[in-house]
Structures are given as C-alpha cells and as structure tokens.
Amino acid sequence: MSFFFCIGTVALHAFALDKAKGFFIEEQHRRPTLKIMRYTAYAVWLHWIEIILFGLVYWVLSTQFAAQVGTIEGAKDLHDYMYFSATTYTSLGFGDLFPTGHLRILAGTEALVGLMMISWSAVFAMKVAKHD
C-alpha cells in the first residue's frame, strides 16, 4: 500500500511540475521576482494537495480498517489526520498523534516522499530563478 501511494504522489508531482514548466520556465516574464513568488504559491498548493490526500488515506484506513492496519492514536476528527499528515510529510515529526500497526510504515513512507517532493520543488524553483 505504501509503495502505491509513493508512486501516486510522485506521479502527481511530476505531472504538476510538467504542466508548470511551460508557464514558469519556457515563457518570458517581465518581472522575475513575481514569477518566483507565483511558482512558490503553486508549489505550496501542490504540497498541500499531497498532504490532504495522505490525510484522507489515514482517516479512511483508521476509521474503516483499524483492526487490519492500525490507527493514528490521539486523532479525533479529520483535522487531526490532516495535522498528522502535514507534520509527517514535512518531516517535522509527531508527538501528540502517532501511528500504530501498519500505518507506521505508511507514515515513514510519507516522510520520505515528502522530503523528496519538497526537494524536487526546490530544484525546480532554482530552474525557474536561473532561467531569467
């Protein structure tokens, strides 16, 4: 399950950056600073989409399949699952909420994928900045 979510997240990120390439790199803009700011907003939006998708998966698995895959201990509502996903994706770490069972593997995978996707976005930002 973690493998498929990893592949799906990478595919989503690759697709989104490929679509952004034409706008942020290939087209000329009069104001390079504005272009960087717009790309940064785009990248943050993209990362939030990925965090929300992971959060929804934690929520569904914890509420519907807890006996098979485990739970996120301490999570009471959907916001808690989103918070857990955001702290995991950004590698901030967790303390008040923590995974049990097989969800520990998914959480570790999300941290690894999040670190890679944030790094990929940073490299793309350098390409955007360098192009001007």
Selection from 67, 66, 103 nearest residue 84 by Cα: 103
Tokens of 22: 């034409």
Angle at 91 between CA 89 and CA 92, to 5 degrees: 110
User: What is the predicted pLDDT for the residue at 28?
Assistant: 67
User: What is the predicted pLDDT for the residue at 88?
Assistant: 96
pLDDT tens by residue, the chain, 132 residues? 778 888 999 999 999 998 888 777 766 666 778 888 889 999 999 999 999 999 999 999 999 999 999 999 999 999 999 999 999 999 888 789 999 999 999 999 999 999 999 999 999 998 888 765
What's the CA gap between 73 and 15, in Å, rounded?
A: 34
Domain ranges of the chain: 2-131
What's the CA gap between 5 and 9, in Å, rounded?
A: 6
User: What is the predicted pLDDT for the residue at 111?
Assistant: 95
User: What is the predicted pLDDT for the residue at 22?
Assistant: 79
Selection from 9, 16, 36, 41 nearest residue 130 by Cα: 36
User: What is the predicted pLDDT for the residue at 97?
Assistant: 95
User: What is the predicted pLDDT for the residue at 47?
Assistant: 98
User: What is the predicted pLDDT for the residue at 109?
Assistant: 94
Residues counted in the chain? 132
User: What is the predicted pLDDT for the residue at 101?
Assistant: 95
CATH class name, domain 2-131: mainly alpha
User: What is the predicted pLDDT for the residue at 76?
Assistant: 95
Instruction: Give me the residues paired with residue 66 across strands.
Output: none
